[in-house]
Structure 1
Amino acid sequence: MADRPRGEGAPDDGTPKFDWLYGGGGAPPPDDDATRPVPRRPRPEETRVMPTVPRPGAGDRPSRPPAAPPPGRPPGRSPAPARGRPSGRSRRPRYWLRWLMVLVLLWVVWLVAVPLFAWSKVHKVDFEPSGSRPADQPGTTYLMVGSDSRAGLSPEERKKLGTGNAVGQRTDTIMLLHTGSGPNLLMSIPRDSLVDVPGHGNTKINAAFAYAHGKPGLLVKTIENNTGIRIDDYVEIGFGGVVDVVNAVGGVQICPKQDMVDKLANLDVKKGCQEADGATALAYARSRHVDKYGDLGRAAHQREVVSAVGKKVVSPWSFLNPVRYWRLNMAAPDSFAFGSGTSPLRAAMWAMAMTRVNGDQGLTCGVPISDFAVHWDPQRSKQMFDYIIKDDTADIPKSLCTPTGLAGQTGD
């Protein structure tokens, strides 16, 4: 019988114990069912890296090292999308753009609202005469009248402006402004022109205004009957209006051709171009006693002031300066009267036309006359009127468009 392994308490006879079971050596028991020791394998001292297998077609492209994560951010994590309010740098441009759009919108509203508000206060007058009138004609012809009414002027203002205390209402200024396919034409009609006034015979043309007690209907009919030109719109301005408008645009430039001292008009200016305020511009437009052409020269001064005002009105500063823009528009209700039926658009067209009556943009003339009496030249005046009726101002010869209306003059 085979020897059995000795257990605890068995005598020590030199036979090996169970060291073989733990790899301590010794021979295993001969029994086949006994447990055998498993040999130990040495462990690798470092982690092996599996070789990479290139993908097809990737060998042609240079490999790029992976981007290093920003400092403080764990590798392998993408930044979270920004939430809430944007940063100050990206928010600031949009903030100012929003405010800029609001300011532009408010400015446009201001530019539209102020003229409409002023227009609601402008006085309207009935100017169209009854009876037969010339048929409609191409272009547009405005009758512009400067009234010498002192209404609204205080005694101190009358003294300062040299207007005197005359009662009633007459007109010192009569102009026709024609606009159409050709250059704008501003033509003065001398107040002493001898014409036929319906119902009153042959007399001075400004008497038509006085006979009708300042109502323009008879004056319109007188002009239409004697010229054949149809009057489409009517504009009237008083003494105080000239002062207010000139001051509203910051003054105008006048260019007297001689020293002018006229005590009756409160005028004292030197020869040459100079800036004039409202009071000086009015005195310059009214003076006729120191000009060699008398009332004809005064008409030329009036056209000069009107053209200078028009030039200032379209200055960018008139629109960019809110104070000047307000004063200019609010001068209209106290200074102007428009024909009834005149729309704000037609009034704006008249104002724009007044800015293009000098230089290469327009013509300024006196109605053709034959003498200082003042009789209209029957042949030359008819030629001028025909050009206007046909809206053919581009073909008016310089010999026909003269400063005083007398033949043989050039320039204004």
Structure 2
Amino acid sequence: MNSQGTSRPQPPAGDEYHRDRYGRILRDRYGRPVRRRHSNVPPPPPGKPATTPPVSGNQHPARPQSPDQPSADGYRRGTPRSPGNERRYPQTGAAHAPQAGFGTPAPVDNATRALPLPTTPPTTNQGSAQRWRQAQPVAPSRPATPPVPPAPTGRAEKRRPRRRRTGRGCITKLLTLIVVTVLALGAAMLAVDSSINRVAASPAPHIGQTRGTNWLLVGSDSRTGLTEQQVQTLGTGGDLGSTRTDTIMVLHLERGTPATLLSIPRDSYVEIPGYGFDKINAAFTFGGPQLLATTVENSTGLRIDHYMEIGFGGFAAIVDAVGGVTMCLEEPIDDPLANINLPAGCQSLAGPAALGYVRSRNFARGDLDRVEHQRAFIAALVDTIASPAVWLNPFRLIPLMKAGAASVTLGTGDHVWQLLPAAKALLQQPATETVPIGSFLDTEVGSVVTWEDPAAYELFNSLGANW
């Protein structure tokens, strides 16, 4: 009888497992039943309570059968569980109900005195669970089924694989760009060449062949084609039908040697075929480019191979097309005849101011200082034309081509692409020379300059003159 007056279930005779106060088999933390220590104490007779065997050796004392009864070690165990707080099996979660009576003892294998292994792995220790899994029979493995790829969407089907950019692709694009640029420039050059003005300028007859190639560069002071407004803007004045030259230069190109830009003063006193001695620029008035080229050949001994001429209006238009040319003046220039008043220092000259700068002779040496200014300005103009700010800017390049085609005149048989070596030579700052002057004279044709024959002939011979 317990404290409530109810009978307590008794364990069956010969039971080797520890049980709680309700007769349930106690289990360790791994879920295994706890056996009693082997003892020679005979089981109690029926109807008598079991006595606790004496503790000997390393045997644990028997647990008390009631909460109020202390165990041999002084601790109280076996506190009854409240309803609903019964032990549950890990594999099913079902409540472990107390056994109804102990009339039938639990099956025990007397030979091994061990129960069968539990059918579920212990849940309180990872190592024991792993050993339990290894002891279980292994089911035959099924062949792995390859995963089914997801169905492609419409957007993924349209997407193309990205190509890796390689150095070869960049080089190909660069070469393509260069070829397209060259073809575009070639087409533009052909268009300009077909629309450019041409004039007969080949001397008749020619002198013998000389070394290298010689271009005759002429700056005409012709006012033909200029309106009254343009005449006032440019400050040209004078006879609108005059056809003299303000600039006469010979550009000598020879392979293996630096180019030379030779200036011939326009008042040089020379013999003009069929007209006697006169200023050299008068030959342009008497017979045009052809007679001028013949006079230059006979006076210098240099064969003229190509001819290029530009007038007042065309010069100013080209300067405006490139956005002006920067010049650095050592001293101010005030010349009412050239219609300019320029301060000293570096400044950008527009078309009218640039034209007045190359025409002005209001200097101590007159025409000699002017030819030096002309050479310096031509070099600056060519450098500006060749700059990326002009070539890569269609708003500069297209007006330049139009102005050049309208204002530049070439000799018959000359072409625009033949100007490329001349432009390259001017960009490389060629050597500049002026025909040596011997004296200034007043003649029937006005004030003239004569050449210093020994020095002049020596200069012409250095350029390959043929006398």
TM-score scaled by length of structure 2: 0.62
Query: 1:100/1:205 Cα in 2 relative to 1: closer, same or farther (>3 Å)?
Result: closer
Alpha-carbon offset, residue 158 of structure 1: 0.4
Query: What are the residue-to-residue correspondences of 1:136-151 with 2, within 5 Å?
Result: 136-151=209-224
Report the secondary structure of 2:450's partner residue. coil
Q: Which protein is bigger by CA-based radius of gyration?
A: 2
Contact 2:321 2:396 in 1 (8 A): yes
Q: Paired residue for 2:352, among 269, 275, 279?
A: 279
Distance 2:157 2:389 in 1: 45
CA shift for structure 1 position 47? 3.2
Contact 1:183/1:363 (CA < 8 Å) preserved in 2?
yes
Deviation at 1:275, TM superposition (A): 1.4
**Alignment partners' CA distance in 2, 1:199 and 1:105:** 52
1:125 paired to 2:125: no
Equivalent runs, 1:5-20 vs 2, <5 Å: none
Q: Which residue does 2:37 correspond to in 1?
A: none
Cα offset, 1:329, TM superposition = 1.5
Please, which runs of 5 or more residues in structure 2 have no aligned partner? Answer: 1-134, 442-448
Residue identity opposite 1:371 in structure 2: S
> Which position in structure 1 is the counterpart of 2:436?
368
- CA offsets 1:45-84 (integer angstroms, 9 cap, x no match): 733569xxxxxxxxxxxxxxxxxx9xxxx74668999985
Per-residue CA shift, 1:65-117, capped at 9, x if unaligned? Answer: xxxx9xxxx746689999854448x26979x9899988766544432222221
More helix by share: 1
Deviation sequence 1:106-150 (CA, Å, 0-9, x none):
54443222222111110111111223x322222111001111111
Q: Name the CA distance, whole Å, in 1 between partners of 2:410 and 2:195.
A: 11
CA contact (8 A) 2:333 2:343 kept: yes
Cα distance between partner residues in 2 of 1:382 and 1:145: 22
- Structure 1 101/81 Cα, relative in aligned 2: closer, same or farther at 3 Å? farther
Partner residue of 2:273? Answer: 198
Contact 1:114 1:326 in 2 (8 A): no
**Could you say what secondary structure the match of 2:246 adopts?**
strand
Partner of 1:302: 374
* Number of corresponding residues: 316
- Residue 113 in structure 1 maps to residue 187 in structure 2: yes
Of 187, 212, 221, which aligns to 2:262? 187
Long gaps (5+) in structure 1: 1-43, 51-68, 392-412
Kindly provide the CA deviation profile for residues 268-322 of structure 1, in whole angstroms up to 9, marking residues without a partner as x: 011233211111110000001x211111111111111111111112112222111
**Other structure's SS at 1:342 match:** coil
SS at match of 1:296: helix
Partner residue of 2:409? 337
Query: For residues 176 and 376 of structure 2, what CA distance do their matches in structure 1 show?
Result: 41
3-state SS of paired residue (1:285) = helix
Identity %: 39
Q: Retained in 2: the 8 A contact 1:195–1:204? A: yes
Higher relative contact order (Cα pairs below 8 Å, separated by 6+ residues):
1
Distance 1:118 1:93, change over 3 A: same
Note if 1:177 corresponds to 2:251: yes
Change (3 A) 1:76 1:228: same
Letter of the 1:297 partner, please give it: D
Report matched runs for 1:151-166 at 5 Å: 151-166=224-239
CA–CA separation in structure 2 for the residues paired with 1:388 and 1:81: 80
- Specify the code of the residue in structure 1 equivalent to 2:351: G
Instruction: Work out the CA distance in 1 between the residues paired with 2:184 and 2:136.
Output: 87
Query: Residue by residue, what CA displacement relative to the aligned partner does 1:155-198 show, whole Å, maximum 9, x if unpaired?
Result: 01101111014123111110011111211111110110001111
- Provide Cα deviations, 1:208-248, integer angstroms capped at 9, x if missing partner: 11111xx2111111111111110010000000111111112
RMSD: 3.1
In structure 1, how many angstroms separate the alpha carbons of the residues matched to 2:347 and 2:363? Answer: 18
2:138 alignment partner in structure 1: 47
Say which SS state the counterpart of residue 264 (structure 1) adopts: coil
**Alpha-carbon spacing, 1:375–1:110, altered in 2? closer, same or farther (3 Å):** same
Counterpart CA distance in 2 for 1:103 and 1:86 is: 28
- CA distances 1:351-406 after superposition (whole Å, capped 9, x unpaired): 333323x3xxx111211111244111101100110111179xxxxxxxxxxxxxxx
Structure 1 residues 333-365: Cα deviation after superposition (integer angstroms, max 9, x where no partner):
211100111133212323333323x3xxx1112
**Secondary structure of the residue that 2:224 maps to in structure 1?**
coil
Indicate if the aligned counterparts of 2:203 and 2:291 stay in contact, CA closer than 8 A: yes
Equivalent position amino acid for 2:436 in 1 = P
Helix, strand or coil: the match of 1:354? Answer: helix
Tell me how far apart the structure 1 counterparts of residues 303 and 391 of structure 2 sit (CA, whole Å). Answer: 34
Letter of the 1:301 partner, please give it.
Answer: H
Distance, in Å, in 2 between the alignment partners of 1:79 and 1:136 is: 84
Instruction: Kindly indicate whether the alpha-carbon contact (under 8 Å) linking 1:158 and 1:165 is maintained by their aligned counterparts in 2.
Output: no
Tell me what 1:237 maps to: 310
Q: Say yes or no: does 1:267 pair with 2:340.
A: yes
SS in 2 for 1:383: helix
Q: Is the 8 A contact 1:118 1:333 kept in 2?
A: yes
Name the structure 2 match of 1:225. Answer: 298
Find the counterpart in structure 2 of residue 19 from structure 1. none
Describe the SS at the equivalent of 2:439. Answer: coil
